[in-house]
Amino acid sequence: MHLNRSNCLWASAQAFQAPDLWAEAEVENWLASPASQPYRQSAATAVRSGQVAVLYNAFEDFLELPNGARHNLWTSDPYLLLGACRPGLVSGSR
C-alpha cells in the first residue's frame, strides 16, 4: 500500500491477511473440470488477439519441453516461447 501524506493512524490501523489459496490438488482438479473451460477459451482468445501482454519470471536458464526442445528463458521472445509451450495458441502476428 502506497500512502503519500496520509493519516498515519489510519494506515497503522489497517490489518492485512494472507490470501486464501487452493491446495495444488484442488487447482489440478478444477483445471481438469468443465468449469475451467470458459476461462481457458477466453484466455486463449485474448492471447491470440493480442489483448494481453506476456510476462514470465525466469528462475532457471532453460525450459525443457516434453518433446525435448530446450528454450533459453533469458533471450527467448515471450510470444515465441508461449507458442512453443502451447502450439497453436499464438498466431504469427502480435
- Is 38 a domain residue? no
- Tens digit of each residue's pLDDT (9 = 90 or more) over 27-57: 889 889 999 988 888 888 887 787 877 666 7
Count of domains observed in the chain = 1
Tell me how far apart the alpha carbons of residues 9 and 51 are, in angstroms, rounded to a whole number. Answer: 41
Q: 47: how many CB neighbours lie within 10 A of its CB?
A: 19
pTM, full prediction: 0.41
- Is 42 a domain residue? no
Question: C-alpha 73: how far from its chain's center?
Answer: 15
Please list, in sequence order, all residues whose beta carbon lies within 8 angstroms of the beta carbon of residue 36, skipping any fewer than 6 positions away. Answer: 30
What is the extent of the structural domain holding 73?
A: 53-94
- Is 94 a domain residue? yes
- Is 40 a domain residue? no
- Is 31 a domain residue? no
Please list, in sequence order, all residues whose beta carbon lies within 8 angstroms of the beta carbon of residue 11, skipping any fewer than 6 positions away. Answer: 1, 3
pLDDT at 6 over 70: no
- Is 4 a domain residue? no
Helices (H), the chain: 8-12, 24-32, 37-48, 78-85
